[in-house]
Amino acid sequence: MPDWNSLVNEVEASGSTYDAVRRKYLKELHEYTGRNVIAYYSAWLQNPNLMKQGVLGFELNDLDKNGLMSTIYELDRSQGLDLMLHTPGGDIAATESLVEYLRSTFEDIRAVVPQLAMSAGTMIALSCRKIVMGKHSSLGPIDPQIGTTPALGILEEWDRALEEARKDPLRGQFWSGITNKYPPGLIGTAEKYRDWSRELAVEWMTTCMFSDLDDAAAHSKADEVLGELGSHSATKAHNRHISANRAREIGLDVVLLEDDQPLQERVLTVHHAFMLTLASQPILKIIENHNGIAFSELYERA
């Protein structure tokens, strides 16, 4: 299989036909695994300035349902699905809807993470039967965001304020200067987002990844995972990168790409083909299957 430079040369030799090169290697991945392949790729890494400007579309959102519907249509659903994920995450309501749709369509879904599936992307991975990762792959914490602030971080700060105010009235005066600036309903909203994300993660893991265990054991495993991925104090930051080995340590069913060299080569070739496309084209996101059916969102270059 070609490396990055070979892919660049292949694209240039074929007249910059990024679509043709991507689809060639998606098809080869499908032929190797015998499974349906859908790649979900966001261009957030290629466009950090647009992200900072608040341009929407890089994140998981409800428009993605249209892309999945288009790429799932006419697939042989008995073959299962390898869902390649490269995303910063996004809206929890959209994520819940997308997972419900995917799981109503395929009984056997593997999340394939060539590089990054963060936040809500990690939640999708948790909903799958297995997660395929390499040494270069990362998941992230699933603590939901309120704006750009982690909901669990807000609740951690609130609990600290209450505890210190209880012990020391002077510290209470200090904290009141901070908490009085909280907008109405902030704490309640943060609690609901925390509970919502945890309930979804537990439901998805116990009914799929850990479904071979009895109910008590499945819930115990899910709680162990949430003790890491759903804890702001454990992960420290919303963009914390959780490696394949760490994901295994906390109990997730992770398949290592390095254990299947032909699979690793094909997955990384597809990944590089998508990254080349996103780096050269004004695309927010691509959702594409191994048959070449694609859905993309564009942005206007300045």
Same domain, 162 and 18: no
Same domain, 51 and 149: no
Report how far residue 274's alpha carbon sits from residue 31's, in angstroms, rounded to the nearest whole number: 19
Last residue of a domain, one of 204, 234, 264: 234
Same domain, 26 and 93: yes
Last residue of a domain, one of 213, 234, 255: 234
- pLDDT for res 233: 72
Same domain, 130 and 181: no
Same domain, 224 and 150: yes
H or E stretch at 169: helix 169-179
Same domain, 120 and 252: yes
Here the CATH number for the domain that contains residue 39 is 3.90.226
Tell whether the model's pLDDT for residue 258 goes beyond 90. Answer: yes
- Mean pLDDT, rounded, of the chain: 91
Same domain, 131 and 152: no
- pLDDT for res 119: 93
DSSP structure class, residue 257: G
- Least reliable range by pLDDT among 1-10, 42-51, 110-119, 138-147: 1-10
Binned at pLDDT 50, 70 and 90, residue 11 comes out as: low
Tell whether the model's pLDDT for residue 299 goes beyond 90. Answer: no
Report how far residue 180's alpha carbon sits from residue 177's, in angstroms, rounded to the nearest whole number: 6
Binned at pLDDT 50, 70 and 90, residue 274 comes out as: very high
What percent of the chain is modeled with pLDDT above 90?
71
**Residue matched to tokens 């009085």:** 180
Report how far residue 132's alpha carbon sits from residue 248's, in angstroms, rounded to the nearest whole number: 11
pLDDT tens digits for range 121-147: 999 999 999 999 999 999 999 988 887
Over residues 261-283, the mean pLDDT reads 96
> How many domains is the chain built from?
2
pLDDT tens digits for range 24-34: 999 999 999 99
pLDDT tens digits for range 224-253: 999 999 887 777 888 899 999 999 999 999
Same domain, 21 and 64: yes
Kindly report the number of other CB atoms within 10 A of residue 191's CB atom.
Answer: 14
Backbone angles phi, psi at 241, to 5 degrees: -95, 125
- pLDDT for res 252: 98
Parallel/antiparallel/unpaired status of strands 36-42 and 283-289: antiparallel
Last residue of a domain, one of 234, 256, 280: 234
Same domain, 127 and 271: yes
Tell whether the model's pLDDT for residue 16 goes beyond 60. Answer: no
Same domain, 135 and 279: yes
- The residue segments making up the domain with residue 169 are 145-234
Same domain, 116 and 198: no
- pLDDT for res 220: 96
- pLDDT for res 3: 66
Same domain, 18 and 155: no
